[in-house]
Structure 1
Amino acid sequence: MNQEHRITPAMILLLAVASGLIVANLYYAQPLVGPISRATGIDPGSAGLIVTLTQIGYCLGLAFIVPLGDLLENRRLTVTLLGATSLALLGAAMAGNAATFLAAAFFIGLCSAAAQVLVPFAAHMSAPEHRGQTVGTVMSGLLLGIMLARPVSSLVTDALGWHAIFYISTAAIAALAVVLQLRLPQRRPEGRYRYGELLASMWTLLRTTPVLRRRAIYQACMFGAFSLFWTTVPLVLASPAFNLSQTGIAIFALLGVAGAIASPIAGRRADQGKSRSTTLMALLAAAAAFGAPLLLHGSREFTLVLLVLCGIVLDMGASGNLVVGQRAIFALGAEMRSRLNGVYISIFFAGGAFGSWLGGWTWAHYGWNGVLVAGLLFPLVALVVFATERPLNASD
């Protein structure tokens, strides 16, 4: 059944909620490394594997599972991945030793790549003149999932213990699989590839598609800045300068989700042929988010409010640029959207991983001002690349 150009507002909302619920699984464990490692007997020196294995699994899912969206029927692929995700989450919830939890963490990341099967699905069902807005709305749901996961898992753990968030997500993902099986239309790709040919073609797409390379560089820089900020800002908020509790830090993170409102706005502007100006605004917003705390100083209350505003502005820039980039690459052809999305997300996710590492390292060696300088470099690099872009190609 061909559902192209027939997406409804209810379906857009469903895909946005689904994407957010799925991708949140990647981030639930991040603020819970301490209690999980103590409960499962993970050595303190290896506790970072709790997060790292989830991220490695997700990257492998992007590279080896998401491209299957150009080969297999999309609804069945998505529902199958969600079933596997719910089993992995249940394994994490019930884990009593390090090996079991770490294996579950890997498969949570691997199967959560289902979120990136749904985004091209939404693009496929949208008319070209509304595709950017549709993708923007779905991505706003995904970004809300990223931003809400950490504070929600912290609050649930405070109330019910760390196992609870994984039991809750197990039930939520299982229910989501049933809903998507009932509500999603079938989508059978038209291309006929062997799996090996499909994977090999991803490198060819990257090598021969300038728009994909450029948009991936922009978003790798933006997600690097985003990850650096949200990795280190809890450390500065918990430091003697602010001395916020975990609940206070969770509230700070919740305020930052306001930045997700930029996604549908950016998508609508891209639909209107304003991709270049929207990209410039996004990159400048990220630069301002790191430049303002370097230049403006005041009382504890002033600085705290400034950091909240900078977090919102940075999130707006990262989410807006992400949507413009996806709108651009999805316009390249329906038959390769899943592979384009897999390459795009993989590259910018690598930028995010580098940003997280750089943030922690810079905080340890140079403090908060060093973090701000490092964060500022990301959008500045993107702006240098942006300056080489020809305006005629900006909306593609």
Structure 2
Amino acid sequence: MNLSQPHKPILSFGMILLMAIAVGITVASNYYALPLLHSITEDLNISVDRAGSIMTTAQFSYALGLLFIAPLGDKIERKTLIIALMLLTIVGLLISGLSHSLTLLIVGTAITGLFSAVAQVLLPFAATLAKPSHKGKVVGVIMSGMLLGILLGRTFAGAISTLMDWRMVYLIAASCMVVITLLFIYLLPRYKSNNTIEYWPLIGSIFMLLLRNSSLRVFAIIGSLSFALFCLFWTPLTFLLSHPPYKYSDFIIGLFGLAGSVSALGSPIVGKLSDKGKGSWLILSGLGVLLFSWLPISFAPSSIIVLIIGIMLINLAAQITHVSCLNAIYQNDPHMATRMNVGYMLCYFIGGTVGSLCSTYLFNHYGWLAVAIAGALLSLMAIFIWIFYLIKNRVKE
């Protein structure tokens, strides 16, 4: 096969599921530490603040990988790139699993975070290979894998740490990725874009796309606000549940990810509706559910049942919004799919980082209600931005 031509192999449903599993396991690698921080603090005899640097390293290195590595999907043959990045992610997980010092754990976390950006090569790759009428469905399935990885990764880590040891979390995760990589070596189709752009102009073109493409810019803003609200909720939830009146263990806290995982199963449905031209309505609906979710969430300190309802709503809302935005982006030129995805996801994770930082400050200084009020206000802002965008586009038409 001539790799210089953008030939599209047939993408089977089995391969879509394999890609979704790979994305989920890869992204989960950056979230395993969340329920393990207490165990790591005691085992390595370090302070809570120093243990917190593990998550900071994971997010920062992932952002670097997103910006400097993921765009290579528009330049390098994608199967080769994906396998190489997965092998390097495995190396990072092994270093973390064998570490006996914070320094070595940070090194392993940085390597894992940097090369786990392979998830953002797989996602646009799947969308590129999908039939135009099935793009939304494919994106929905892959995004289900990603969200399940983020949510269930915490549950998995808490369970393994409780039954065995926190290091085994990373070693088992590395073993799972070895299996996925071997399957990719034999089953993943080859595909290369016909782009001839050099590396640094390739990176610069991401920012140019954000500047010149107003639709991409709005989707990036909506996506970043959506993930900011997602992190605004999940980051301080651990502190709420680990203190009175609940005083839950890390394992029990990790189980709350199961409540959110139910909503991830709706992603394929969202994708199908997007394929039918319902994307604008879906985004508005998702933002509306996001706003409403803060009502039950505000009662979290006094009712677990109401909290679980809030968890299901906020995860459903975030998923509807995210999948709809991504599907709209992937309707563009497939040779720019990776870069447009990177531009969107870069804003997406910046939003998440800001949301996490703000939530910790609000919770520590003003309590849970302040977090809920801030979430409702940001949700309203996202709704106004989207409605303004729709009205502006209708006037142009």
Name the TM-score class by shorter chain: over 0.9
Change (3 A) 1:287 1:120: same
1:140 aligns with 2:159: no
Q: Which residue of 1 aligns with 2:222?
A: 218
Among 220, 228, 232, the residue aligned to 1:228 = 232
Q: Which residue of 1 aligns with 2:164?
A: 160
Among 93, 102, 115, the residue aligned to 1:89 = 93
Distance in 2 (CA, whole Å) between partners of 1:5 and 1:281 is 35
The aligned runs of 1:341-356 (5 Å cut-off) are 341-356=341-356
Supply the AA of the counterpart residue of 2:375.
G
Where does structure 1 differ by over 4 angstroms across 4 or more consecutive aligned residues? Answer: 391-394
Query: Which deviations, in whole Å up to 9, do the C-alpha atoms of 1:246-277 show, x marking residues without a partner?
Result: 33322222122111123112111110001111
Distance in 2 (CA, whole Å) between partners of 1:293 and 1:20 is 26
Distance in 2 (CA, whole Å) between partners of 1:44 and 1:349 is 24
Q: Is the 8 A contact 1:283 1:383 kept in 2?
A: yes
Cα shift at 1:356: 1.1
Cα shift at 1:41: 4.7
Q: Which residue of 2 aligns with 1:52?
A: 56
SS at match of 2:10: coil
SS at match of 1:387: helix
Cα shift at 1:157: 0.2
The aligned runs of 1:246-325 (5 Å cut-off) are 246-294=250-298, 300=302, 303-325=303-325
Q: Which residue of 1 aligns with 2:376?
A: 376
Query: Which deviations, in whole Å up to 9, do the C-alpha atoms of 1:203-253 show, x marking residues without a partner?
Result: 111100111111111111111111111112222222323333333322222
Query: Which deviations, in whole Å up to 9, do the C-alpha atoms of 1:318-354 show, x marking residues without a partner?
Result: 1111111111111111111111111111101111111
Supply the AA of the counterpart residue of 1:329.
I
Q: Is the 8 A contact 1:4 1:127 kept in 2?
A: no
Distance in 2 (CA, whole Å) between partners of 1:30 and 1:245 is 13
Which stretch shifts more, 306-315 or 372-381?
372-381
Q: Which residue of 2 aligns with 1:77?
A: 81
SS at match of 2:367: helix
Q: Which residue of 1 aligns with 2:208?
A: 204
Cα shift at 1:45: 3.2
Q: Is the 8 A contact 1:22 1:112 kept in 2?
A: yes
SS at match of 2:389: coil
Cα shift at 1:5: 6.9
Q: CA RMSD in A?
A: 1.8
Q: Which residue of 2 aligns with 1:242?
A: 246
1:34 aligns with 2:25: no
Q: Is the 8 A contact 2:236 2:363 kept in 1?
A: yes
Query: Which deviations, in whole Å up to 9, do the C-alpha atoms of 1:176-223 show, x marking residues without a partner?
Result: 111111111001111111101101111111100111111111111111
Supply the AA of the counterpart residue of 1:174.
V
Change (3 A) 1:67 1:247: same
Cα shift at 1:103: 1.0
Distance in 2 (CA, whole Å) between partners of 1:104 and 1:249 is 25
Distance in 2 (CA, whole Å) between partners of 1:362 and 1:318 is 21
Distance in 2 (CA, whole Å) between partners of 1:60 and 1:41 is 29
Q: Is the 8 A contact 2:35 2:251 kept in 1?
A: no
Q: Is the 8 A contact 1:286 1:317 kept in 2?
A: yes
SS at match of 1:186: coil
Unaligned 5+ segments in structure 1 are none
Q: Is the 8 A contact 2:35 2:250 kept in 1?
A: no
Q: Is the 8 A contact 1:263 1:319 kept in 2?
A: yes
Distance in 2 (CA, whole Å) between partners of 1:204 and 1:304 is 46
Q: Which residue of 2 aligns with 1:176?
A: 180
Query: Which deviations, in whole Å up to 9, do the C-alpha atoms of 1:157-182 show, x marking residues without a partner?
Result: 00101011011011111221111111
Q: Is the 8 A contact 2:35 2:154 kept in 1?
A: yes
Query: Which deviations, in whole Å up to 9, do the C-alpha atoms of 1:21-55 show, x marking residues without a partner?
Result: 11000100112122223433544432211111111
SS at match of 1:96: coil
The aligned runs of 1:381-392 (5 Å cut-off) are 381-390=381-390
Distance in 1 (CA, whole Å) between partners of 2:310 and 2:7 is 41
Distance in 2 (CA, whole Å) between partners of 1:69 and 1:217 is 23
SS at match of 2:265: helix
Q: Is the 8 A contact 1:237 1:249 kept in 2?
A: yes
Change (3 A) 1:247 1:99: closer
Q: Which residue of 2 aligns with 1:331?
A: 331
Which stretch shifts more, 60-69 or 375-384?
375-384
Query: Which deviations, in whole Å up to 9, do the C-alpha atoms of 1:1-21 show, x marking residues without a partner?
Result: 566372211111111111101
Q: Is the 8 A contact 2:232 2:355 kept in 1?
A: yes
Distance in 1 (CA, whole Å) between partners of 2:7 and 2:94 is 34
SS at match of 1:388: helix
Q: Is the 8 A contact 2:296 2:307 kept in 1?
A: no
Distance in 2 (CA, whole Å) between partners of 1:66 and 1:48 is 26
- How many residues matched? 390
Distance in 2 (CA, whole Å) between partners of 1:253 and 1:315 is 10
TM-score, length basis structure 2? 0.94
Q: Is the 8 A contact 1:261 1:316 kept in 2?
A: no
Q: Is the 8 A contact 2:82 2:118 kept in 1?
A: yes
